[in-house]
Structure 1
Amino acid sequence: MSINFKRFVPRPGLVNKQGRLPDPSELVCIEVPKIFDQCLIKRCLVYGEGPDTNTTDCELRSEPLTDPKRYIGSRDFNIKLISVDKTPLKGKPGFKKIVICYTISFYSDYIDCNGVNKSEFYEINRTDVVGKFYCPDSIAQISASFVPVHGAKDLDSDIIKLEMVADALGGELLQDEEGNDVLDITLGYYIVVKCELIVQLLIPAYDYCPVPKEPCEEEPEEDPCERFEKAPIPKFYPDQNLDPLFPDCDDNDEEDD
């Protein structure tokens, strides 16, 4: 179904795949970070003594714990870019060898023998090398001033950006060589490395984003007993894992044929 242009209101939303949008009202110039290249780093790390490798890290073991009983899980994963080293590749304009140093931090929760929830903080330092990465130098140099004005500020138009999705794949309570209780974490993560340059783009536009007419919603407080009365009756027993006593109708039909 095509779009009725007279009733069309420009606003954020999904584009109708069966119709088409009306012509934009203007062409505007905006300044945004544009991605010139990106690649994926995928790691599954376990604790291992000695230098870090692509599969081990010596910082995935906790400090000695007091009477731990059970590992619960890990949370609050964070990544921080520490440094970037760029080396131009000969004969390949714009391409560089990138060495990135970053830190991943998170908390791991466990229960001790007294039933008390406790947390252990982990921080691992990693270095990865991207052998060939298109990250050209910006031709224009950017300088800007902000309010209150204390003088102009130079902006880095060449941006290396890291985006991460991480999870603890497991946690094992054991004893180290000195007999201390420790918690070893198996960490899995994905990191997207991006090279961005601040550029000006000419794009079609309709207008400023409309001011929303709906007021901000408030979550009404509900009485716990009322919520309990509305809830369905739960199952009293788990589902059984049983094989059928008789074959289904389709199997019978095939046997008769």
Structure 2
Amino acid sequence: MPDKNDLFTIMQEPYEGLPTECIIADKVYDSCFQRECEPAVSLALPTGGPFTYLYTRFESGFIVDGTLTITPITGRPNFARVRFVFRVPFTAILRDDCACPATNVELNGSVDFSKDIAMYIPTSSDEFSFDIVIETRSQILRAEMVNGSLILAIGVFVVVKVIGKVQLLIVARGFCPAPRECEEISPDDICADFMTQPLPDFFPPQFTGEPYEEP
């Protein structure tokens, strides 16, 4: 078996003529996505109104602390059963049409989903650990007000990833170029035009001795 230096040389061969770098990175060992839907998330309307629903602002979903469990699957080497609950917080924005002037009202809520899936998590040493991370994209499918409550139908795309921190050899083109200078937005300067005006006459004109003529 070649030693470590020989392995490094072998790894470089496909990139002959191109510079390479070793980096520490989060490698995605496995990923999958699913769709989730909650047809009736209920939020109590505040006093006042009537209200008009405007939009909903979603935050990134996250795995609820204490809910993640990973257990090997018998008969499927390097696969594990991954179970957890993830939560997507959101804020629904309403307009109070009775207020003068009309004002916006925020209703905070969240929606939870349970996951029980099989994922590729290869066998490794005790010192190497994998992380389970998620990404979410959420949207409102329907919004209606019924009997003093805002009822939201929420659809969520969730991507689940198995992440491991590893050392990778990559083709490198050096450090990223310096960014462009930010374009600053300056408020209108009321003095800008004045600073370019020519000097005006300070005193009334003198009499030149010319005869006065009737207009």
- Whether the 8 Å contact between 1:109 and 1:118 is mirrored in structure 2 is yes
> Equivalent of 1:207, from 171, 174, 182?
174
The aligned counterpart of 2:113 is 126
Q: Deviations over 1:62-86 (max 9, x none)?
A: 1243234211110133312113111
- Whether the 8 Å contact between 1:74 and 1:168 is mirrored in structure 2 is yes
The aligned counterpart of 2:70 is 86
Tell me the CA shift for residue 22 of structure 1: 9.8
Cα separation, 1, equivalents of 2:183 and 2:126: 45
Cα separation, 2, equivalents of 1:116 and 1:206: 53
Letter in 2 for 1:173: M
Cα separation, 2, equivalents of 1:116 and 1:110: 8
> Equivalent of 2:27, from 29, 34, 43?
34
TM-score after normalising by structure 1 = 0.60
- Whether the 8 Å contact between 2:63 and 2:86 is mirrored in structure 1 is yes
Q: Deviations over 1:167-218 (max 9, x none)?
A: 122211111xxxxx11011111101000011111111223233334x42221
> Equivalent of 2:42, from 30, 50, 61?
61
SS at match of 1:78: coil
> Equivalent of 2:137, from 157, 165, 183?
165
TM-score after normalising by structure 2 = 0.70
Letter in 1 for 2:119: F
Q: Deviations over 1:7-43 (max 9, x none)?
A: xxxxxxxxxxxxxx99423x22111111111111212
Question: Structure 1 residues 89, 182: CA separation in 2 closer, same or farther (over 3 Å shift)?
Answer: same
User: For structure 2, which runs of at least 5 residues remain unmatched after alignment?
Assistant: 1-14, 190-215
Cα separation, 2, equivalents of 1:172 and 1:103: 22
Cα separation, 1, equivalents of 2:119 and 2:70: 10
- Whether the 8 Å contact between 1:36 and 1:134 is mirrored in structure 2 is yes
Q: Deviations over 1:91-144 (max 9, x none)?
A: 2111011112111110001122333311100122221111x21022442626xx
The aligned counterpart of 2:18 is 24
Question: Structure 1 residues 158, 100: CA separation in 2 closer, same or farther (over 3 Å shift)?
Answer: same
Residue 184 in 1 paired to residue 151 in 2?
Answer: yes
Q: How large is the RMSD of aligned CA atoms in angstroms?
A: 2.3
> Equivalent of 2:183, from 204, 212, 217?
217
Residue 104 in 1 paired to residue 88 in 2?
Answer: yes
- Whether the 8 Å contact between 1:36 and 1:196 is mirrored in structure 2 is yes
User: For structure 1, which runs of at least 5 residues remain unmatched after alignment?
Assistant: 1-20, 48-59, 143-156, 176-180, 224-257
Percent identity of the aligned residues? 27
Cα separation, 2, equivalents of 1:76 and 1:45: 14
Letter in 1 for 2:54: I
Letter in 1 for 2:115: D
> Equivalent of 2:36, from 23, 37, 43?
43
Cα separation, 2, equivalents of 1:46 and 1:171: 10
Cα separation, 1, equivalents of 2:46 and 2:178: 54
Cα separation, 2, equivalents of 1:204 and 1:78: 32
- Whether the 8 Å contact between 2:36 and 2:113 is mirrored in structure 1 is no
Q: Deviations over 1:148-169 (max 9, x none)?
A: xxxxxxxxx3111100111122
